[in-house]
Amino acid sequence: MTGRQLHILAVSGSIRAESKNRALLEAAQLLAPPGARITLDWSLVTLPHFNPDLDTIDGHTRPPEAAHWRERVGAADGLLISSPEYAHGIPGVLKNALDWLVSSTTFPGKPVASLCASAMSVFGPAQLRETLTTMNARFVDDASIVIPVPGAGATSATIAADTELAKALRDALDAFLGAIERGS
Ligand SMILES: Cc1cc2nc3c(=O)[nH]c(=O)nc-3n(C[C@H](O)[C@H](O)[C@H](O)COP(=O)(O)O)c2cc1C
């Protein structure tokens, strides 16, 4: 990898304390190559419900949490989401956060990859891809995979120490960072 360090914003679609998806993103932080810096973002916990009345053109009525979320996403070189599936869809907190980005002028063309920590999930990842491509994100398919994290009690350390899981995660990161650098 060449050039400046890429900044990746990582967002877990699950906000529960023992989230496997969050552990997967924390493992990605441990395994990231020197050319990339991955920052976990916690905006989903505090974002207010999306309301178009508050999402004005000039942004004067936009809640500060939503404005900061948009700024952080806008400033990142790429957005890495890892999300569970809830009732064959994506969690409401994640959809809410994405709705706050719909009118953002910096989001179209943003490189996005989506991970999922559960092998059972089919509909959630597909729905997330559909929403992101509708929002004109640059969805990186090669980097968007399900990485089945087994059982309860998974941590970033146990994931990073598992040869198969760590390889899958490294491969996804390489594909994502490569696509960002190539602009493809
Ligand atoms: C409300 C709710 C609905 C769920 N619905 C589904 C589902 O439709 N399909 C599925 O495969 N898993 C479903 N699950 C299981 C979660 O996707 C799974 O436990 C996931 O690994 C949780 O991610 P987390 O550990 O990051 O919180 C559901 C879990 C919850 C809490």
How big is the CA angle at 127 (ends 124 and 128), to the nearest 5 degrees? 85
In short, whether 15's Cβ falls inside 6 Å of ligand 1 is: no
Atom of ligand 1 nearest to the CA of 82: 26
Q: How far apart are CA 155 and CA 141, in angstroms?
A: 26
Does this model's pTM top 0.85? My answer is yes
Ligand 1 centroid to 160 CA: how many Å? Answer: 22
Neighbours of 145 (CB within 10 A): 16
For ligand 1, is residue 120 a contact (CB within 6 Å)? yes
Mind listing the pLDDT tens digit of every residue in the chain (184 residues)?
Answer: 557 899 999 999 999 999 999 999 999 999 999 999 999 999 999 999 999 999 988 888 999 999 999 999 999 999 999 999 999 999 999 999 999 999 999 999 999 999 999 999 999 999 999 999 999 999 999 999 999 999 888 999 999 999 999 999 999 999 999 999 999 6
CA of 129 to the centre of ligand 1 (A): 18
CA-CA distances (angstroms) from residue 18 to 1, 21, 30, 121, 123? 33, 9, 18, 18, 22
From the CA of 85, how far away is ligand 1's center (Å)? 5
Q: Give 18-82 as a DSSP string.
A: T-HHHHHHHHHHHH--TTEEEEEE-HHHHPPPP-GGGS-TT-TTS-HHHHHHHHHHHHSSEEEEE
Going by C-alpha positions, the residue among 10, 4, 3 that lies closest to residue 173 is 10
Give me ligand 1 centre to Cα 141, in Å. Answer: 22
Does 82 sit in the ligand 1 pocket, CB within 6 Å?
Answer: no
* pLDDT score at 57: 80
| Largest Cα span, the chain | 49
Q: Which of 107, 178, 99, 183 is nearest to 142 (CA)?
A: 178
Q: How far apart are CA 70 and CA 7, in angstroms?
A: 15
